[in-house]
Amino acid sequence: MSTDLYQEGLLALAGAAEGEGRLDDPDVTLTLDNPLCGDRVTLDLHCDQAGRIAALGHHVRGCVLCRAAANLLGQQAIGQDAASLDTLQRAIKGALRGRHAWPTDERWQDLTLFEPAAAHKSRHECVLLPFEAVVEALRQHGEGGATGT
């Protein structure tokens, strides 16, 4: 295990269990898989009238990076809408690829814990999977509250 990749703060975030668990009667449920490493994220969302996240539950079968990313969403995604999370997901992808700096929004300051993953291309999708799932779930909700797996 690479200590620079799996530093103490990241391990603490992965163990935080923020938003962990399934929601009763969600507005939308979505499951995404990473076929390369076997990570799987299932998200349940309750959304408000404006399409913002009112509650988020997740079940992750995956690595430390994927669990940490899902827990970060559990901590910070309430009140966010599809556009803001899509912008965030694209920024994370760009930062992992070294195309630009990591987002500096105070709400998402713990994203800096994922900076060492940029040097490990095979781990990028592990970080991105929960963010991709929440963006897709909100997109589906905006199209009529579909539930997908």
137: number of CA atoms within 13 Å, CB side? 31
Question: For residue range 76-128, what is the model confidence (pLDDT) as tens digits?
Answer: 999 999 999 999 999 999 999 999 899 989 999 999 999 999 999 999 999 99
Read off the pLDDT of each residue in 5-33 and give the average, rounded to a whole number: 92
Overall number of domains in the chain? 1
Q: Is residue 5 part of a domain?
A: no
Residue 138: its H or E element:
helix 124-142
Q: Is residue 10 part of a domain?
A: no
Phi/psi region, residue 51 (left: phi>0; alpha: psi -120 to 50; beta: rest), is: left
From CA 32, how far away is CA 76, in angstroms rounded?
20
Structure tokens at 6: 């799996």
Which stretch of 19-23, 78-82, 141-145 has the lowest confidence by average pLDDT? 141-145
From CA 104, how far away is CA 60, in angstroms rounded?
26
What is the extent of the structural domain holding 52?
Answer: 17-142
Q: Does this model's pTM top 0.85?
A: yes
| CATH value at residue 99 | 3.90.1010.10
